[in-house]
Structure 1
Amino acid sequence: MTGSFATWRNVPITFDQVDTSSATVQVGNYLHVSPNTSGSPLAAPSIEIGLYAQKTGKTTHTYGPRWTELTTSGGRATAIKSGVNPTKADNRNHTYMTVRQESGNQWDVLYDFNKVGSTTKQLKVVGGNTNRVDVGLEVTGPTYVDVPSIANRMQFMTGNKVWEQVATGNVAKSVTLPACSSAHKPPNCFTTKLTDNSKFTQWTASKPRRQTSAAVTSPTAPAPAHGTDALAAGLPATFNGVNQDALQACLDSDADDCLVSVPGLAECVVTVRVCNAAALPTGGSLEEPAGGADVSAADIRARAAAAFDVPGDVVTVRPPAAPTALKPGARAASSNGDGVWTVFSSSSTTGLQRGERRFEGFIAHYTPRTGVLLEACWGDLCDVQ
């Protein structure tokens, strides 16, 4: 395997408007790739890219894509700022992709068919070894969240640079909550469906909430459709060899088919890797222009302590106006400077990884007004730029 690809829509994930300060309530729908599983399928260095929503207050939450590199010695996560409305729950299709670099052992990460980052710590892919690709939904704090059906489609790229669906015999399902039924009612249940024949076609998952009439908050009202003409206005007809009208039309309808149906796209994602003129990075903020009150240092401390599984009293918070000061020898995930909240600790942490493995210290940056996670590192990957 030299690449992986998944697509789904930005569905409106909603949270109860109740106080959950003592619990972590979050949702992740992601593509997770382990290029080399020779040591352990569950502990191998890996790459994750997906859509994440987290309840941050009684009436507030974050929503948007990010990508993460995970290793046995640490990890780093970066919010994605490119794409068309990446932080809007407007039912738009978005795409998530990893492609192995032409030389060396590292991988590029693409969102909406544009490169957004590269790994630094992945292992060599040895011919004949098993690769693992996971796609699906993960929910923490299911009592307070409603997730409508998310239709996940996934493909992988062979060593010959051909995109294929996974054979049904190589597909395994893992559902950790019971199926919703009269015996197992929401909120502690999933509704899932695997669509396949000889090949994996689609994995659909949802997590209903207990009280459908409860007050909820949504980042934005879902849009019924997206006009291709309006989206493509001002774009070049061809960009890096890719027909842009065909690409926008495909993303609006059946993004799973774009690598086959859009002229020039399959070649672009493995060469130039910047293929979508409408989704280029803008350098804009991930914060909404209007919304709730600004976050406080206490809010940021509590948010970081919960995310990184450390006591709040071992977390140091630097406000946006203060210069960044980090532990000796460590470097932040990037040079965001003084315009963000900087949070760090040298205490043992799980980072943003699953499981019981712990690492020494973390550094995280949050947006100044609403406290959206911009980037983070933990363990040894805080020493890697």
Structure 2
Amino acid sequence: MLEMSSEALAVVQRSHTMVVRAESWLNGELVADDIPIASGGEERDRSLAVPERATLTVPRRDRGTTWDPIDPDHPLAAYGQQLRISYGVGVGGSVEWIDRGWFLITESQADGDTVSIQCEGLLSLIEEARFVAPFQPSGTLASTVRSLVEPALTVEIDGALVDRAVPVGMQWDEDRLAAVHELLDAWPAVARVTEDGFLRVEPLVDTGTPVLSLTDGTGGTVVRWNSANSRAGAFTVVVARGEDADGNPIQGVAYDRDDSSPLRDGGGFNPLPVPHVFQSPLLTTVAQCRAAAQATLTRLRRSASRRLAVTLMPHPGLVPGDVVSVTGAGMTDVPCMIETMSLPYSPGEMQLTVRTIDV
């Protein structure tokens, strides 16, 4: 959960006064603050390569300022301008601001009396920056991810991760973001853009202490099952393959042994193994293959977990990956992890998709 005071946490769980503001930055310099936001919203989905999206509507003219992006240096133009968006909550006669993060303007257009703005998370900078020539990494996993991402994003490496050397002779030809994901899968690690605009690389964690209790029927909260499911792409075991220093093929295997999983190995889904196989030259020992296979199983198993759709009053502290306790739809205090969310920037309802987890 994003940083909030106890007073603000108490306020947002009931009807509250809210306001949203944005600052525009270009080349590391503030070019406009207190941009007037009339409406809009933010969506986040952990399954996407760039998880964050935001849409804003701004008056074309407000308090003597023209917000029509008529030139490349305008604060709302789409030539590198980044918006820092904050959500304000009225607390005791003042406003407490919660930073929702940084967003790259990808499109802006004036129409009548308003300007519509489309934004994406900062990983879009990495997604669009394809390699001009083949990239051959050297050094370690940490130094390589920095070489792939910086200076577009500053990288923070969690101290719990164990760094190691990158094998000689590797090469990526075109897709920079795919190279980042291949490196993270082999480490194994995950990455997220923080509300401060850094790329934080950290171990995969699929548990946690609930930061909020959601109860069906309380404060307008509605909980219901999401019944969508499919056999397409399902698997019961992950196989990670690599090559040792002598050029011999190696592999590590991780089976779904969770008795509560509908895709457990040898269970009702299929009595025979159904593998998901991936290969990476970054894997040079059996231990590395096993760790990568287990992390991949944990990450991809999210799609098979039972899911709930939750509607509630806007809560500006929540982000995907937060654990919440859910009561409703036949469950009591069941821990769930947020996978997708939609947060309005004007009065309305917030939507969450959460999945049940084990703690």
Counting strand residues as a fraction of each chain, which structure ranks higher?
2
What TM-score results when the alignment is normalised by the length of structure 1?
Answer: 0.21
In terms of Rg, which structure is larger? 2
What TM-score results when the alignment is normalised by the length of structure 2?
Answer: 0.22
